[in-house]
Amino acid sequence: MNQTILVIGAGPAGATASALLRQRGYRVIVIEKQHFPRFSIGESLLPQCMEILEEAGMLETVKANADRLSFQFKNGAAFKQGERYTDFNFGEKFTPGLGWTWQVRRGDFDKLLADSAAAQGTEIRYGHEILTVDISGDTPVVTIRGEDGTSYTETPSFVLDASGFGRILPRLLNLEVPSNFPVRRAIFTHVMDHISDPVFDREKIRVTVHPEENHVWWWLIPFSDGRASVGVVACEEFFAKYQGTSEERWRAILAEDEGLSTLLAQSTVCQEVRELGGYSADVKSLYGRHFALLGNAGEFLDPVFSSGVTIAMKSASLCVPLLDRQLQGETIDWENDYEKTLRRGITVFRAYVEAWYDGSFQDIIFSPKQSPEIKAMICSLLAGYAWDEKNPFNRDAKRRLSTITEICRDTSIETDALLTMEGTTP
């Protein structure tokens, strides 16, 4: 088979798609603007993405290198606000499947995946950049600037845009629509954490909610070599109250949380403090004539539930079999089988993200009224299993979260009696 697929970007979406295409015998060219390893944010993975790593023939490679690259075994998520603490163990989730994953430095992780795709026969051109994409003819015409600055064209059978925040096709083809989330920003860095608290669980991401502002939160993502990624997320208006450099603002906000600043009292910053804002994004359509959008090049919600890499890989896993069938002459229902299917899971994450920022998710998880049954269903989402239709919480997430929130907030229900599923299915 000599059909060529051109993939834009060698991040998790691009590398996964490339490996899956190579398994089906296609020639794959990846155009990647940067040289790897390069820094990327998004270090806490979800168990759901392990299944896709396996599908792409990459899981064994990642396992074999996990210790060397200080990937931290991760088995859950912990949430804290003031004295309130709760955690979720992925092993107790409703959906069957792996209950663990890793926390990774993305430069190393992404390079592993890209190298694995290359070992499977993908041609990756680092330092090359997409300039234009013309999809008006019978085959796409892609103009690329090579490392030496000269331009050249490729005429693949199909283009997969996995350019992440580069959002190449959304920009070039005018597909962008504003996200309906307010503009938020993250300030983050890596520290040598020197955490000595024996109760601290390195095997979980720790999400700390600001003591007074429910919509402001910190991530603390430990790696296995004593380092950790520490970042704060808030809306632009909140950050506008703080003056100084990124590091000064990061420190000033950290100081407002007694628990977190005590935990990190001995930590030392070991990387430049960076900022990223306005990352939530959406598009009119995830596919079109001769192209499909993967991962962040399509829709990106929010960092809070660490869903980005999982959605990126899931998009590749859904898209490639459809593309394969199309290239073999079948007519594909991209609208149902790609767009709606991928967005079904994203919509579940969206309901949780909305519940997070209006404070209702916090009211649920810190409430003494939850049942283990409901906790297991929520835990599945936290583990990334947003496409599991057997999970009642995935079928109508927004309404169910809202019903539970009402019960958790209702002070007339004084009993600590656990909520039952009947309470959530009026």
Ligand X SMILES: Cc1cc2nc3c(=O)[nH]c(=O)nc-3n(C[C@H](O)[C@H](O)[C@H](O)COP(=O)(O)OP(=O)(O)OC[C@H]3O[C@@H](n4cnc5c(N)ncnc54)[C@H](O)[C@@H]3O)c2cc1C
User: Which stretches of the chain bind ligand X, using CB under 6 A?
Assistant: 8-14, 31-34, 40-45, 129-130, 162-166, 168, 186, 276, 279, 295-297, 300, 303, 306, 308-310, 312
Q: How far apart are CA 187 and CA 174, in angstroms?
A: 30
Q: How far apart are CA 354 and CA 131, in angstroms?
A: 36
Q: Considering beta carbons, is residue 125 or 251 the nearer one to ligand X?
A: 125
Shortest reach from residue 375's CB to ligand X, in Å: 22
Token pair in block for residue 149: 């600055």
Shortest reach from residue 302's CB to ligand X, in Å: 8
Shortest reach from residue 390's CB to ligand X, in Å: 23
Shortest reach from residue 376's CB to ligand X, in Å: 22
**Bridge pairing between strands 217-222 and 227-235:** antiparallel
Shortest reach from residue 299's CB to ligand X, in Å: 10
Q: How far apart are CA 153 and CA 82, in angstroms?
A: 57
Q: Is 286 exposed, middle or buried (0-12, 13-18, 19+ CB in 10 A)?
A: buried
Q: Considering beta carbons, is residue 304 or 418 the nearer one to ligand X?
A: 304
Q: Considering beta carbons, is residue 100 or 165 the nearer one to ligand X?
A: 165
Q: Considering beta carbons, is residue 76 or 166 the nearer one to ligand X?
A: 166
Coil vs helix vs strand at 188: strand
Q: Considering beta carbons, is residue 187 or 408 the nearer one to ligand X?
A: 187
Contacts of 418 (CB under 8 A, 6+ apart): 369, 370, 371, 372
Coil vs helix vs strand at 190: strand
Token pair in block for residue 199: 């109760």
The residues facing 207 across adjacent strands are 79, 219
Shortest reach from residue 9's CB to ligand X, in Å: 3
Contacts of 287 (CB under 8 A, 6+ apart): 293, 334, 335, 338, 339
Q: Considering beta carbons, is residue 306 or 370 the nearer one to ligand X?
A: 306
Q: Considering beta carbons, is residue 222 or 423 the nearer one to ligand X?
A: 222
Shortest reach from residue 15's CB to ligand X, in Å: 8
- C-alpha 86: how far from chain center: 22
Ordered alpha helix ranges (H), 66-183: 106-119, 168-172
